[in-house]
Amino acid sequence: MSLNPDVQARVHAEIDAIIGNDALLSMHHRIQLPFTEATILETQRLGDVVPLGVPHAVTEDVYFRDYFIPKGTMIIPNLYSVHMNPELWPEPEKFKPERFLDSDGNIDQKELIPFSVGKRQCLGEGMAKMELFLYFTSMMQHFNFKPAPGYPAPNTKGLLGFTNAPEPFHILVRKRNAK
């Protein structure tokens, strides 16, 4: 949010209009906060915590894009390639939560697969989505995030390993409505 003050302002405005800054947040608010939800989805797309999926074995012979993959071959899904595909996401390197809203302002998840797909997708997806919504929305309800003066802006590329972790960074966090 410190890198996207315009998005942060829209999230703050939506939260203020629906919940206010003193009311207790609940999962019932999720459907009422489509721009906030779209912002979380765009963060998941660009953040890609697990850019490579869990290895799978092909259960039958498959032809995929002119390649023959024999039954039993181990494959590793590249979720990052889906999330950064310009055919699916115009200007994929840009942070644009609007891409997850349809023409009526409702959520449209499209090709987002941060928890993988199929039988082997993350069993904790439902709980993770709930926790992410409650944590992010609560933080945005109460705080404002800005770049820390005298420090470089946070690097959004991360440190790639089995997971994609953020590099150390400095930001300024202030309680909202504080002088």
17: enclosing H helix or E strand: helix 5-18
The domains located in the chain, with CATH, are: 5-51+78-175 (1.10.630.10)
Asked if residue 15 lies in contact with residue 39, where contact means CB atoms within 8 angstroms, the answer is no
Quote the pLDDT of residue 157.
Answer: 84
57 strand-pairing partners: 74
Alpha helices, DSSP H only, in 74-176? 79-83, 125-142
**Relative orientation angle of helices 34-47 and 5-18, to the nearest 10 degrees:** 140
Binding site for heme, by residue number, is: 122
pLDDT at position 178 over 70: no
CA quadruple 94, 43, 24, 169: dihedral sign:
negative
pTM: 0.91
171 strand-pairing partners: 147
Q: Could you report the per-residue pLDDT of 106-149, keeping only the tens digit for each?
A: 999 888 999 987 777 888 999 999 999 999 999 999 999 999 99
Quote the pLDDT of residue 137.
Answer: 97
Binding site, by residue number, is: 122
pLDDT at position 170 over 60: yes
Q: Could you report the per-residue pLDDT of 26-60, keeping only the tens digit for each?
A: 999 999 999 999 999 999 999 888 888 888 889 99
Q: Could you report the per-residue pLDDT of 4-25, keeping only the tens digit for each?
A: 999 999 999 999 999 998 889 9
What are the structure tokens assigned to 72, written together? 């039993």
